[in-house]
Structure 1
Amino acid sequence: MEFNDLVHAIQTLNAEDAFRPRLTLDQWRVISPYLTRHDIRAGDLLIKQGDTDRTMYFLGQGSLQVFVTGGPPGSNRIAILRAGSVVGEPGLFGDGPRMANVEAMTPCAVWALRGPRLEELAARSPALALELLRAAGGVMSMRMRNNMVRQVPFT
């Protein structure tokens, strides 16, 4: 999978919680060196509930499921994410523990934006970093609103 395929997936995802930065392809190309690509196998955990790290992932290919451990039966699965989605966006805003697990349902290609790399981008291209944070905050806000409507507990 090429980086342009990731950008296309992000731009064409039709989901209520889609990541919608106002970026051109040239601006994405400036951002691309700050991301690292990872291929993960079906069944592998991308994010483990309770861990702390400051990474947001862009899903370029495959599907992920988001679920929590513990809680009442049947309330574990929170979401299924398709190519073009982001996950782990709260990690860019704080150092707290991860609120859920994220597991690959199929083989996936993800692109990681780690907190220190975002800080480097902010120093070199503050407008681009701000746009990424604005869009990530929009995703986080929509997901929080949806979870409150469904009464999914936050831990």
Structure 2
Amino acid sequence: MGIEDLMQAVQSLNTDDAFHARLDVMQWRTLGSYLAAYQMRAGDLLIKQGDADRTAYFLALGTLQVYRNTGSGATSRIALLRPGSLAGETGLFSDQPHSANVEAMTATTVWAMHLPRFEELAARAPAIAIEFLRASGAVMAARLRANMNHQIAAA
């Protein structure tokens, strides 16, 4: 699976929290050169609640579930992520611990943007890095709104 496949997955995702970066094919290829691809099996943990991982992940293939450990062994599912989704994006903005687990439900391919590689991208291709941050920030804002709306509805 190449960067063009990831680009297609990201561009075809139609959710409120989709990563809508205004990048052309050449810019995606540049961005792709800063990403690392990883294969996961069903049940593998991508992000562990409480860890401070400075990495954002694009889901290229498969399904991820996002859930929280709520205490006494109970869990609460937050979301299912489909190809094209961004996960762990808060890690690029903060070194605070992750608030949820992200686990592969199927065989999965993710592309990781590690903080040191993002810093290289920012130095070498600042326009692409700024667009990456803008689109990641929009994902976080959409998720924050959805969480707030869910809490208001539950009250």
- Give the TM bin, normalised by the shorter chain: over 0.9
Question: Which runs of structure 2 are paired with 1:49-128 in the superposition (5 Å)?
Answer: 49-70=49-70, 76-128=76-128
* Contact kept in structure 1, 2:3 and 2:28, CA below 8 Å: no
**Contact between 2:69 and 2:75, CA under 8 Å: does it hold in 1?**
no
Q: How many residues are matched?
A: 152
Q: Which moved more, 1:79-88 or 1:143-152?
A: 143-152
**Residues 47-70 of structure 1: per-residue CA shift (max 9 Å, x gap):** 000001110000000000000001
% identical aligned pairs: 57
Residue identity in the other structure for 1:43 = G
Q: Runs of at least 4 residues of structure 1 off by over 2 A?
A: 71-75
- The Cα offsets for residues 96-154 of structure 1, whole Å up to 9 and x where unpaired, read as 000100000111000000111100000001110010000000000100110111129xx
C-alpha RMSD of the superposition? 1.7
- What secondary structure does 1:66 align onto? strand
In 1: Cα distance, 2:53 partner to 2:93 partner: 11
Which consecutive residues of structure 1, in runs of 5 or more, have no partner in the other structure?
none
CA distance in 2, matches of 1:114, 1:2: 18
Letter of the 1:94 counterpart: S
Which residue number corresponds to residue 134 of structure 2?
134
Deviates more, 1:64-73 or 1:25-34: 64-73
TM-score normalised to structure 2 length: 0.94
TM-score, length basis structure 1: 0.94
Q: Would you say the 8 A contact 2:64–2:104 is kept in 1?
A: yes
Partner AA of 1:82 in structure 2: R
> Which residue does the alignment assign to 1:43?
43
